[in-house]
Structure 1
Amino acid sequence: MGDRATVIAGVDGIRGGWVAAFHPSGDPGATVLRTFSRFADILDAPEAPAVVAVDMPIGLPERISGSGRAAEKAVRSLLGQRQSSVFSIPARAAVMEEDYRTACALALAASDPPKKISKQAFNIFLKIREIDALMTPALEARVYEVHPELAFWRLNGEAPMSLPKKVKSRANPAGIAERAQLLERFGYDPKLFERPLPGCGLDDMVDACACAAIAVRIVNGTATPFPPDPPRDAKGLRIAIWA
């Protein structure tokens, strides 16, 4: 599958939907960034990506033990000061709830030790539900969960990035530049990150490209799942972050 013509996509969530980085797996220099309102539209895009690597949790356990899903627990220790970017995702019932207080109550009831939900995690539940509604075990051959900071760790010789992308919820130009320079070493055009797309931050754009770089590794057979033997949820979905 890893020939030059195989198109892949790296995807990151943004306020109004999603940003996707498309390119042939053998040619990151041909990357095109586009925004979408629905995740399904990325799967159906004219580029017809063979692999879609998305920064969004896939696979939701019925109960949570400790600090999140097995996937989150498997990657945090690798990321040093960047590990706070890995949110603890609660049990399925809590993620499916639209009211924050009710979601917290459901999370408390389905976690050991009992744990509420951070507002940051709650804010991505709508997008988790959007992907979960589409996902099937068969679609796992095409759609993979990734995480940008784990992607950068992998691209950076398995070392976490030294600077944060955001400081006090605001974009950090130095952290974005550090990541853009790393992506350039892997063939991504630095001109991609000169100005943000409408409705999309530069941090989202570098994240989408980092996800695309892991999609290339998936196509080439060099990506690995965290944890190495992923569990599955009640829908049969794999619970793993790939890098």
Structure 2
Amino acid sequence: MPKRARSSPESAMPMPSPDRTTRKRAGASEFVLGVDGCRAGWIVARLNLSGMSANGFIAMSFAEILNGAGAQAAMIMVDMPIGLADSGRRACEGLARRRLKPGRTSSVFTPPRRPMLNFDAYEEANAWGKRQEAKGGLSKQAWMIAPKIREVDAAITPADQARLGEAHPEVAFARLNDGRPCAHAKRRQEGEEERLALLTRAGFSDAEDIYQALRKEHGAKAVKRDDVYDACALALTAKARLEGKAVHLSDGARDARGLVMEIWG
């Protein structure tokens, strides 16, 4: 695996301009997608760039998103790790935590290292990590999303990152909040109201309607309000990336597959 460059202080590398592939897609398409995993599969928030109208749906697989609704999207942002270190930590997590001080740093957790995805049980992956390096264990939270990490990893190539990126909802909400992390946890009523107000102020006025529609169709256990709001925030991040206004956290390192390890917000 290529050596990881030193991360720059505070905010990370400068925000790059959209490349040719991104500009071509943006010119040919009028919508972006924000995607978040949920119990029922994947919550997708579709934001029309003209008029800022939005709707949502649930996809059963990530490949279904890429090959279906996302095939013509100008940009897709997903709340799932893309690009996995073989050892050590990804720089982008540390940069995200720095952005989210104080109060929201616990929302950023370390994803599995790539070899951990080969294990069938948490105990085996965790033990392997601890044998490799000090403090190299794996949290159960990270292991619980390993199936979805595998799913995304199997569906994408490095070329896809021109119009598809890993994004972190709390980094996205902090950007919408003039750089300040949200004051309340997202699953508390105050946190839901805080995030809905930020979405509405940014022009995304359909978030609660999307949640209510998906809840009615799929049930309260399958769809959580905070996951829907997160997907909506990521759709706004996709729009911001097209406009050159998104937060971009990365030291430029690539993983063994050639995927850039980065977080957008």
TM-score (norm 2): 0.82
Match of 2:82 in 1: 58
Determine the C-alpha separation between the residues in 1 that align with 2:118 and 2:236. Answer: 30
Give aligned-pair identity as a percent.
Answer: 38
Match of 1:204 among 220, 227, 251: 227
1:3 deviates by 5.9
The 5-angstrom pairing of residues 210-225 of structure 1 reads 210-225=233-248
1:97 deviates by 2.0
1:207 deviates by 0.2
Match of 1:45 among 68, 79, 87: 68
1:100 deviates by 0.5
Q: In 1, are the aligned partners of 2:252 and 2:261 still within 8 Å (CA)?
A: yes
Does residue 1:124 correspond to 2:145, yes or no? yes
Determine the C-alpha separation between the residues in 2 that align with 1:46 and 1:121. Answer: 27
The 5-angstrom pairing of residues 1-243 of structure 1 reads 1=23, 6-28=30-52, 30-46=53-69, 48-64=72-88, 68-79=89-100, 80-111=102-133, 113-166=134-187, 172-190=188-206, 191-192=208-209, 195=212, 197=215, 198=218, 199-227=222-250, 229-243=251-265
Deviations 1:100-153 (A, max 9, x none): 011102222344x33211111110111001011112111111210000001001
Gaps of 5+ in 1: 167-171
Q: CA RMSD in A?
A: 1.8
Determine the C-alpha separation between the residues in 1 that align with 2:140 and 2:226. Answer: 20
Deviations 1:180-221 (A, max 9, x none): 111001111254266252221111110000010100011112
Question: 1:40 corresponds to which letter in structure 2?
Answer: A
Higher relative contact order (CA 8 A, sep 6+): 2
TM-score (norm 1): 0.89
Determine the C-alpha separation between the residues in 2 that align with 1:160 and 1:148. Answer: 11
Q: Secondary structure at the match of 2:151?
A: helix
Gaps of 5+ in 2: 1-22
Q: Secondary structure at the match of 2:254?
A: coil
